[in-house]
Amino acid sequence: MGTFSRIKNKILGTDIDYSEEFTDDYVEIDTKKDVGRKSKVVVRPFIISEFTDVKDALDALREGYTIALINIKPIRDRDIVELKRAINKLKKTCDAIEGDIAGFGEDWIVVTPSFAQVYRTSETEEVKE
């Protein structure tokens, strides 16, 4: 085949020989591999009855893919000082992960990672120490 014919075939896209390009190179894709639970956002409820219960929520928030809905009624009914400690710990972690924290109602707090923001109305308030 002459040079002119090869150029014509390259331009027209006919008679293309891929055998040299794709001989030994290939990528095997594992279709059964778990793409990741980490790639999904999880909205997870927590109940804080005592100060040590805050650790589970903090660990989940540090992973970066969890929006925590935290029921503070049990600790609020038991000990206000412990509640303030728990909220302070949540706020510090929220600041560290550049997230958002807000209370809604008297019994619930929502804490979000950096990619989410809490929509604020008169019912959702800035959490204060």
- Which CATH number fits the domain that encloses residue 69? 3.30.110.150
Say what the pLDDT of residue 18 is.
Answer: 53
Q: What is the mean pLDDT of residues 43-54?
A: 94
DSSP tag of 53 = G
Alpha-helix residue ranges (DSSP H) falling in the chain: 3-12, 54-63, 73-78, 80-96
* Cα-to-chain-centroid distance, residue 28: 28
Average pLDDT value for the chain: 81
Contact criterion met (CB below 8 Å) for 61 and 96: no
Q: What is the mean pLDDT of residues 67-94?
A: 94
Q: Is residue 84 part of a domain?
A: yes
pTM (2 d.p.): 0.63
Please write the tens of the pLDDT for every residue from 85-114. 999 999 999 999 999 999 988 899 999 998
CA angle at 82 for the pair 105 and 104, rounded to the nearest 5°: 10
Q: What is the mean pLDDT of residues 11-38?
A: 58
Torsional sign, CA 63, 69, 74, 75: positive
Residue 126 has pLDDT above 80, yes or no: no
**Order of strands, sheet of 124-126, starting from the edge strand that comes earlier in the sequence:** 42-47, 66-71, 108-112, 100-104, 124-126
Q: Is residue 15 part of a domain?
A: no
> By residue range, what is the domain housing residue 85?
30-126
Confidence band (pLDDT; 50, 70, 90) for 16? low
